[in-house]
Amino acid sequence: MTGLPHDDGCIFCKIVKGEALSFKVYEDDLSFAIMDINPFNHGHTLVLSKGHYTNLHEANEDAVAAVARTAKKIAAAVVDAVPNDGVNIVQANGPGAAQSVQHYHLHILPRRLGDNAKLNWSLTPGDHEIIAKQAADIRARL
């Protein structure tokens, strides 16, 4: 972990350093995967950046790419390992998105039909004029 940012008060940084209990699934130079100890469903796994970045906005491109590669690998293994009807890959940024640990990570959430997850929204058509304006506003910031 030499050269990577670290926060001594962060539980995920402590887990990466082996200073706190975890159920490790996978590790490489930039990412670390563990079982969630408060699982939504069986197989709920977390993929962490080894470096401490509060969220996606602070994470560098190498960290984001490493976490994404690991999430793809872990999601395939989870789908094979536990009964499921699908899988969500969830990443939260900030309190409004229910980010509970201020360290960049993804949730691999095996889903079951009828599991009552609150991640779903209804498919209600939006106003195309408003959507087009929002797309233009976002493109202008890229």
* Domains with residue ranges and CATH for the chain: 11-140 (3.30.428.10)
Whether residue 102 contacts residue 56, with contact meaning beta carbons closer than 8 Å, is answered with: no
From 52, 103, 105, 107, the catalytic residue: 105
To the query of whether residue 52 is one of the catalytic residues in this protein, the response is no
Closest CA to 48 of 57, 79, 36, 38: 36
Question: How much is the average pLDDT of 92-102?
Answer: 92
pLDDT of residue 132: 79
- Distance, in Å, from the CA atom of 6 to the CA atom of 4, rounded to the nearest integer, reads 6
Instruction: Record the pTM.
Output: 0.89
pLDDT band, very low/low/confident/very high, at 1 (cuts 50, 70, 90): low
